[in-house]
Amino acid sequence: MADKSPKNRWLPKRIVLLRHGETSDDSGGGDGISPSHSTPLSRRGAEQAKRAGALIRDLLDQSCPSWKIYVYVSPFECTRSTLREMGCAFPASRLIGVREECRVREQDFGNFQDPQKIRHLKEVRDKFGRFFFRFPEGESGADVYDRVSSFLESMWRDIDMQRFPHGGDDSELNLIIVSHGLAIRIFLMRWFRWTVEQFERLKSPKDCEFRVMQLGEGGEYSLAVHHDEGRLRAWGLSADMVAEQKLRAGSRSHQEAAAGEEEEVLWYRTFFGAADGDEDTSATRGGAGEG
């Protein structure tokens, strides 16, 4: 059974990360001159947003008859428009509130962008590495990581201060974050403490595709509660990353999860010597002792 402790009673049941719909630039209708933050959705993007809203609504209806949502949205026109279109699926009585959140905005690529130059820079980024490559006059993935980390701290304060009144035990709170492809991957990286190498594996969500982080039986959030292994692997998660998500989805407690992470994170193990008693450490430390 799910953890019903007083602390978990106030935790969101789900955190849904939704990428915006197709923009006019994506569809070939942009002029390449307008600032990226003001680029609108294409007609197809608006339809994608409506379908995404209906899919999320169905997910919530199937889980609990009494649910509430609170929304964080990037200030870009494409994300605000996505929220407007998807919002048609949600009765106003189910909405706790909406907050425009600048820290989940798109990665800054610079000011007025030349499409050909941006395409070239993205090719260079793919060779250099998405996390550390910095666009001229813009941001690197590492910069986005810093502001998403700041947002996460604020979001947890909102939860701890119980700023999302949702009816208590008989109602489910769901947070929806309408954001962008890189910001969503960085959010997951930060939440699950994935390495840069693991981040580089991840594929960006498609237009209006969403990732559902849901509370498992032990009170840990996991992608494996709502999504199956095939979907997680298609998104770029390695076998080890999928296994860790399955553990989070299970019945272990917060304390067991913290202890388990020591066993799951293996990438650094070869940096250190053997455990005490496993071998004659005196020989590995330059022959101190017997001559």
Orientation of helix 141-160 relative to helix 181-192, angle to 10°: 60
Active-site annotation holds for 20: yes
**Given the residues 22, 85, 101, 106, the one annotated as active site:** 106
Contact 64, 139 (CB under 8 A): no
Report the DSSP pairing between strands 210-215 and 14-19. Answer: antiparallel
Show which residues are catalytic: 20, 106
